[in-house]
Amino acid sequence: MQGENINASDVNELAKAMGLQYPVRVSKELLDEIMPNDFLSGLGIRYSERLKGILGILKANLIPRNEGLKEAFPKGAIVIPIALAKGPFIKEGLISIKAEVKDDGGEKAILLTVIPEEN
């Protein structure tokens, strides 16, 4: 897999730029799912673009608050279904991502994880 050198700080900056009110963490399992392999990277598919898409869907699913412009995170979690191209044979696979607010050492953060497929 080709990495794009995007670290946790970059993910949080991207989330902040998109208007998300909490820092965002990406689980290792999700990172493995959305990081394109060498074949897909050669076709121009980038981790950062996939991450932007996921964060955009997350932002769109937040609940508007009445008292201000910021959105509230719904109780529980948000499930984000997303189709991703897989290689080396170009086909799309559907994954489900769970986004939930967690307490990260006294600070709230959004954790993005993959929901395992049921067999």
User: What secondary structure does DSSP assign to 12-67, as a single string?
Assistant: HHHHHHTT-SS-EEE-HHHHHHHS--HHHHHTT--HHHHHHHHHHHHHHTSEEPSS
In which domain, by residue range, is 109 found? 8-115
Tell me which amino acid residue 40 is. Answer: L
| Overall domain count for the chain | 1
Position 3 in a domain: no
Question: Using CA atoms, how far apart are residues 41 and 33, in angstroms rounded to an integer?
Answer: 14
What is the pLDDT tens value at each position of the chain, 119 positions in all? 445 667 888 888 999 998 888 889 999 999 988 998 888 888 888 999 999 999 999 988 877 655 554 556 667 788 888 888 887 777 788 899 999 988 877 888 899 999 987 75
What SS3 class is residue 2? Answer: coil
Q: Would 1 be classed as within a structural domain? A: no
